[in-house]
Amino acid sequence: MGWREYPQNIKVRLITSFFNRAVSSAVMPFMALFFATEKGKVWAGTFLILTVIIGFIVNLIGGYISDRFPRKKVLMTTSFLNAVMFLLMTVSLLPEQNWILLFAIAYIGFIITSSLGRPAMHAIIMDSTTPENRKEVYTLDYWMINLSMAIGAALGGLLYVSHQIELFVLLTVTSISIPIAYGIWLRDEFTGFLKKTHENVFLDLFQNYKVALKDSAFVKVVIGGTFIFSAEFTLNSYIGIRLAETFESFHIGNFEITGVRMLSMLNIQNMLMVVCFTFFINRVMDRFSKKNALLIGLLLYGIGYVTVTSANAWYVLLLFNVIATMGELIYSPIKEAEKANMIPSDKRGSYSAFANVSFSGADMLARSTIILGAFLVPVMMSVYMGVVIMIGAFFMYSGLFLREKVTEKAVKKEVVAQYVK
């Protein structure tokens, strides 16, 4: 399927997300630095942990809302409020002395509005695709996410320090154009909205997620994702700190490659590989069954991150980072497409919101490696990482593919029982 054959909603979703992510990626990675500079490290750390908790809770509410109300209205409202929050952030930077309190309030507002809208964004892809073309669309989405983040990182690196206000103005203008684009081009085609079953809205919300929690196969995929993503997130936590402390720097001409710069090189290498090789690797892996391709991807991913966790030689780090990224390129689109196929059509927002537990949990697991790394030597941390990835692979594979065998056995038992009668 070519770009022209994609449903209109998919095109709108991919293009608007691309521009939104490209500009926000130029700013969001610097928020910790911004608040630490303005208010101190302890204040910044506490504030940012609070925003993660708020985002997680609001995301669950957003999933419920996107299943109860028209997704176009949800997206237009939340994206308009996003633009208002970015405008307030921009205004707070204009005075000589930044209005930090206004900036912090607007930042929390942005976390709330974006978390409310995110499940509806995910649900639209599922609404507008079929099981046959879903893997292809998720592969393109995965590629565009990484390309937009690479552009955003480059924009931020060039403009954040010397042209901060201009960067926020660009972010505000982009954000204002997105609800306009939704209003013109997005089609509200979905009609199978979730019916309210309880008068008490909190009971109704809980009942909605109770269904997802009872779906044991989906819960396994979410648990598996938590363990597997934590390896990738560890790159910017434990691995980054270890490289800063123990990596022996070297020179290329007059340019010194320190541990911190080595970490940047690994991140850039990851993004460039995704941008350059996603479609090639996807075509190669189409020759394999989905089950085998997922296992190959997870194996490469595991070998890569287990080695990067403790390696200190630059060439070993670069080589095994390539192997880890190749594994990610193989398993990620398959996992996303198969996970989407598991979700009931009237609960896509809620299931998508529940699936985001993977990222919150992985972030917490990755942060815990900083504490664990204070007691374990790097080789033991590699062993720990290997165990974590193996547990994740077991849960993900069994959740995605072993459920089919269980269902087949149940059907066969029913047939046998009928003949016995």
Q: Is the pLDDT of residue 394 over 90?
A: yes
Average pLDDT over residues 101-115: 93
Task: Identify the pLDDT of residue 194.
Answer: 63
If one compares 279 and 410, the residue with the highest pLDDT of the two is 279
**What is the secondary structure of 142-175 as a DSSP string?**
HHHHHHHHHHHHHHHHHHTTT-HHHHHHHHHHHH
Q: Is the pLDDT of residue 405 over 60?
A: no
Task: Identify the pLDDT of residue 417.
Answer: 45
Task: Identify the pLDDT of residue 1.
Answer: 64
Residue 414's pLDDT band (boundaries 50, 70, 90)? very low
Task: Identify the pLDDT of residue 212.
Answer: 81
Q: Tens digit of pLDDT for each residue in 74-107?
A: 999 999 999 999 999 999 998 777 789 999 999 9
If one compares 157 and 231, the residue with the highest pLDDT of the two is 231
Side-chain-side CA neighbours of 211 within 13 Å: the count stands at: 19
Average pLDDT over residues 400-408: 62
Determine contact, residues 397/294, Cβ cutoff 8 Å.
Answer: yes
Q: What is the pTM of this model?
A: 0.76
Determine contact, residues 65/205, Cβ cutoff 8 Å.
Answer: no
Task: Identify the pLDDT of residue 415.
Answer: 40
Give the rounded percent of residues in the chain with a pLDDT score beyond 70.
92
Task: Identify the pLDDT of residue 410.
Answer: 43
If one compares 181 and 348, the residue with the highest pLDDT of the two is 181
Q: Tens digit of pLDDT for each residue in 121-134?
A: 888 888 888 888 88
In this structure, what token pair is assigned to residue 214?
């009872």
If one compares 254 and 277, the residue with the highest pLDDT of the two is 277
Q: Is the pLDDT of residue 161 over 80?
A: no
Residues 6+ apart with CB under 8 A from 285: 293, 296, 297, 330, 334
Residue 409's pLDDT band (boundaries 50, 70, 90)? very low
Average pLDDT over residues 317-335: 94
Residue 190 three-state SS: coil
Task: Identify the pLDDT of residue 178.
Answer: 94
* CA distances (Å), origin 186, targets 3, 7, 117: 16, 10, 15
Which residues is 256 bridged to in the sheet? 251
Q: Is the pLDDT of residue 387 over 70?
A: yes
If one compares 36 and 18, the residue with the highest pLDDT of the two is 18
Phi-psi region of 258 (alpha: psi -120 to 50; beta: other; left: phi over 0): beta
Task: Identify the pLDDT of residue 229.
Answer: 92
CA gap 158, 164 in Å, rounded: 10
If one compares 256 and 108, the residue with the highest pLDDT of the two is 108
Task: Identify the pLDDT of residue 389.
Answer: 96
The beta strands (E) that lie in 254-321 are given as 255-257
Q: Is the pLDDT of residue 412 over 50?
A: no
Q: Is the pLDDT of residue 250 over 90?
A: no
The segment with the largest mean pLDDT, out of 112-116, 133-137, 259-263, is 112-116
Task: Identify the pLDDT of residue 48.
Answer: 78
If one compares 219 and 406, the residue with the highest pLDDT of the two is 219
Task: Identify the pLDDT of residue 331.
Answer: 94
Task: Identify the pLDDT of residue 235.
Answer: 82
Q: Tens digit of pLDDT for each residue in 190-239?
A: 666 666 665 666 777 777 778 788 889 999 999 999 999 999 888 877 88
Task: Identify the pLDDT of residue 70.
Answer: 87
Average pLDDT over residues 302-324: 95
- Mean pLDDT taken over the chain: 85
| Helix residue ranges, H only, 342-377 | 348-355, 357-372
